[in-house]
Amino acid sequence: MSFIPPDEISRNLIDCIQSGLIETDQDSTIIFYDFDLLLSKTKALISAFPENTLHTIAIKANPLVKILEKIKSLGLGVEAASEGELFLAEKIGFHPSQTVFDSPAKTRNELLYAISSNINVNADSFMELERIAELKEKINSSSRIGLRINPQIGYGTIAATSVAGDYSKFGVPIKEFRTEIIESFKTYNWLSGIHIHIGSQGCSMQMLLSGFEESLKLIKEIQEQSGRNVEFIDIGGGLPTSYHHNQSPPDIIEYGAKIQELIQKYKLEHLQLITEFGRYLHANSGYTISKVEYVKHYKESNTLIIHAGADLFLRECLNPGQWYHEFTLLDLNGEIKSGSKSIKYHIAGPLCFAGDIVARDIELPKADEGDYVVIHDTGAYTFGMWSKYVSRMFPKVIMKTGKTFEIIRNREKPKDMYFFWSSY
Ligand SMILES: Cc1ncc(COP(=O)(O)O)c(C=O)c1O
């Protein structure tokens, strides 16, 4: 199973209402996360790549502590992209050798912390390599250092998440700086890997593979010209997920096999692989259920006002047309609503701006106040982008493992909001 089907979601909601885990008068939005789906995706991920691959999971895709703890218990590592994410990784107990620090804006202090803690670092630029060189002279560290390159293989279908076109704010572009990249490997004997990330959603498997192949060609040249072996290649994340339940997403097993074929083609079998997937593991494992507060019927349009908008679905609201979810309507008891007549609805959030619309013209059975809208496949890059605009409170999160439900994050309370805006 690669999606959580609507009938299972309906049963889950009914169970949680009946057991009192969901308080219907308080929980206007609930986020669910299915551990079993995470587990089966993890197993597929591990079997798709060679045994010595370091799989790190992008914290930004889903930073919930209880889920990161599960990720640790499955033997995976993490990719951290900020001081806050490094802190989460350390607090949860990820071993430094299983933590990769990526960010285009690492401060000197952050680098000092990572290198003295033996955390692996991918430098985003030559300037950052210089900062690392200064630290490496003073500190005895086992951090492995890679250089992020931009293989410049083109843009995917979503501009905002495509990072390997001719221009990107990330990495060193290989067309202009091939010689300098090779020189860096000659200069810094501690520089031992190459990092790439092509994009997140919107980039086909073929694009990801073509970025990987360009990187292998570069590694060949580095090795020939420097006389040193490059030890690892970090392939980033980016395997797209399908948000359409009638379509199959690219297969991780096929992706892993093609990566290994390319490694053999270039006779680079000694390279260790590092991965940084986020969306692949999380997107389909989560879903959001939000109560219909009002149903507006105006002449030309019908709008459902629910309790999740751009605070939870930033990309969907700000880049309409580029991000897609399926929707299911449940009645106030949690049963799937049906009816021969379907109506087109705009699904609107609770925030005070016109663009706070999660989706437009979604066909659903006739909706009533108190129904629930299920927004499918929201386990990645939704609550990780939570916005405090209009001081809305973060919803309750429930994890399902087997047949057991557990609250893994409580609904925020007004006092939490006060604390956020007042603490210093
Ligand atoms: C450097 C890096 N690695 C990994 C990821 C995870 O990508 P995805 O969730 O698409 O697998 C991202 C996402 O933007 C990223 O920027």
Instruction: Give tens-digit pLDDT for 96-128.
Output: 999 999 999 999 999 999 999 999 999 999 999
Q: Tell me the best of 57, 71, 79, 281 to mutate to test the pocket of ligand 1, counting ligand atoms within 8 Å of each CB and taking the most.
A: 79
CATH classification of 6-33+284-422, choosing from 3.40.50.620, 1.10.760.10, 2.30.33.40, 2.40.37.10?
Answer: 2.40.37.10
Distance between CA 378 and CA 236 in Å, rounded? 21
pLDDT class of 424 with cuts at 50, 70, 90: low
Q: Which residues line ligand 1 (CB under 6 A)?
A: 58, 61, 79, 102, 197, 200-201, 236-239, 276-280
β-bridge pairing 77-80 and 99-101: parallel
Ligand 1 center–CA 401 separation, angstroms: 26
Ligand 1 center–CA 58 separation, angstroms: 6
Domain ranges of the chain: 6-33+284-422, 36-282
Q: What is the pLDDT of residue 299?
A: 87
- Ligand 1 atom with the smallest distance to the CA of 280 is 11
Residue type, 404: T
| Cβ atoms of residues 52 and 77 within 8 Å | no
Q: What is the pLDDT of residue 2?
A: 85
| Cβ atoms of residues 59 and 85 within 8 Å | yes
Considering the chain, what percentage of its residues have pLDDT values greater than 70?
100
For residues 145-159, average pLDDT: 96
Distance between CA 387 and CA 410 in Å, rounded? 17
What pLDDT digit, counting tens, does each position of 123-147 carry? 999 999 999 999 999 999 999 999 9
Average pLDDT, the chain: 97
Considering the chain, what percentage of its residues have pLDDT values greater than 90?
97
Question: Token pair of 253, please?
Answer: 């097993």
> Does the pLDDT of residue 340 top 80, yes or no?
no
CATH classification of 36-282, choosing from 3.30.2020.30, 3.20.20.210, 3.40.50.10490, 3.20.20.10?
Answer: 3.20.20.10
| Cβ atoms of residues 119 and 142 within 8 Å | no
pLDDT class of 423 with cuts at 50, 70, 90: confident
